[in-house]
Structure 1
Amino acid sequence: MTKIPYFSESNKSAQKLVQTLFTPTQQRLVVGIIAAGYQTEKHFVSVNAPEWLQMDRAQKLYPELKNMAVEFSLRRACDQKIIPFSYEIGTIEKNKNKFLKLINNEKQVILTINQTPSDKRASRHAKFRADLFDQCDNRFVLFDDEARSQDSVYLELNHGYQSDQPSFTILGKPDSTGLWGARLNLQNNLQVLSSNEEKDIKTTAKEVASFSMDEFRQYQEFKTEG
């Protein structure tokens, strides 16, 4: 990411944002939804995928299938109002690939969803992410503990990595060098819930990530209505 000037920045306030963006229950749901997406991808490859996709050489395709399953699950969570976000589909100018942006209208937070090899750094440099970072933070005067700017804030929701279950789920604000200005590992921040609440969250996450091929086909090219 290109180094840019900040008018004002408070690491304390950025950390407060990532800690309070989701309620404890919503944090639990996001972690569960991403984990369920991993399991959906695993089930598809082991049960439903054609034989050629189960060959050793095809394993390099699995991370992208995992991305698709996670993005699909989070979009369904938005559609069903399970998490307080809407979404937009962006297009990468260079190759016309699509990417998912989650948008919190109340706090005007823009999130990209990324599969990364480490929780220690933000996502690798990519122009579409750098553009979002610049668009948000070039104008952004970071809020203090009582008030904040109305401009958008760019955050990342990162998960990883090449495993059956995500080893981390990070909500963070990257800085201009690709390190974290603020971060929260949602998996390490889970609070104890009652057995009924825990069961409800697991059921909801599983239902959001479970889909038929017909349903997935409606999402796979990031088609939008109208």
Structure 2
Amino acid sequence: MNSDDRETLIIPESPQKRLLDSIDLSSQVQIFSALKRAYLLADATMHDDNSSAKWLSSGRGDFALESRIRQIAVECELCRLIEKGKLPFDYAYKFNDRKNYKYLIINKKGEFHMTVNQCVNGNQPAKKVKYRESENTNFQTRLVLDNDDMIDEYEKKDEYFELNHGYRTVEPKFAYLGIPMMNSNKWAYRLNLVNNLDVLSAITQTTEVSGPKPITPDEFAAYQKRESND
């Protein structure tokens, strides 16, 4: 069939279906358990003079140290799960355009790529910054139809998700998996992991039950060495 005979239509796919197909209940359990361990770990680190001193001496500085340690703990716990094969995803760190900040990307090839963000609340997607805006792609599925209205081609687009959590508590006050709308400060769909806790708890799932393993600047630096080629 000649490509000139085709008509390309943009047909939106359900954001809820796309998210839940990409991150199933088993993975939701693991993600939320990682967040809970990370928050406990961050709190323990801040109340341990030796641990907090290590982070200060590593060049992190004392500005917003507690928030920074909490985000680092979340990233480390998620990377640990991926390394152990308990989350069926991959991860890498990318530089922002100014090359002065590395951020974590969790991805499943052909399905999604996701940033992990500490936010003041979960009512809206994370604050718009250039690197997150550059990661955000249109939520759409492309169907190519021929003149007889027969599906000729199906292309599934790698979508952008956010895992947003917060804020300044010993346990996560909120935790959302969601798809932010492009050029908007609204969600196309979000899943509240905290409110979904009863459902998640009913699933038979092996999660880490012991106390969180301490994190060190060296461990975090090792994860950051896995850089994205994108």
TM-score range, shorter chain: 0.7 to 0.9
RMSD: 2.9
Is residue 68–residue 220 contact of structure 1 (8 Å, CA) maintained in 2?
no
Q: 1:108 aligns with which of 111, 132, 138?
A: 111
Q: 1:24 and 2:2 equivalent?
A: no
Change in Cα spacing, 1:143 to 1:168, as seen in structure 2 (3 Å) is farther
SS at match of 1:34: helix
- Normalised by the size of structure 2, how large is the TM-score? 0.76
Identity %: 23
1:14-93 equivalence runs, <5 A: 14-47=15-48, 48-50=51-53, 58=62, 60-93=64-97
- Which residue in 2 is equivalent to 1:224? 226
Change in Cα spacing, 1:155 to 1:148, as seen in structure 2 (3 Å) is farther
SS at match of 1:166: coil
Q: Distance in 1 between matches of 2:66 and 2:92?
A: 24
1:50-103 Cα deviation digits (max 9, x unpaired): 3997xxxx5732111111110111111111111111012110122521000001
Change in Cα spacing, 1:148 to 1:28, as seen in structure 2 (3 Å) is farther
* Structure 1: runs of 5 or more not aligned: 1-5
Aligned length, in residue pairs:
200
Deviation at 1:149, TM superposition (A): 3.2
Letter aligned with residue 142 of structure 1: T
Q: Distance in 2 between matches of 1:94 and 1:156?
A: 22
Change in Cα spacing, 1:113 to 1:148, as seen in structure 2 (3 Å) is farther
Indicate the structure (1 or 2) with the bigger Cα radius of gyration: 2
SS at match of 1:112: strand
Q: 1:142 and 2:141 equivalent?
A: yes
Say which structure is richer in strand: 2
- Which residue in 1 is equivalent to 2:195? 188
The ranges of structure 1 where at least 4 consecutive aligned residues each deviate by more than 6 angstroms after the TM superposition are none
Is residue 73–residue 215 contact of structure 2 (8 Å, CA) maintained in 1?
no
- Normalised by the size of structure 1, how large is the TM-score? 0.77
1:175-200 Cα deviation digits (max 9, x unpaired): 12121011111222232437xx46x4
Q: Distance in 1 between matches of 2:54 and 2:95?
A: 32
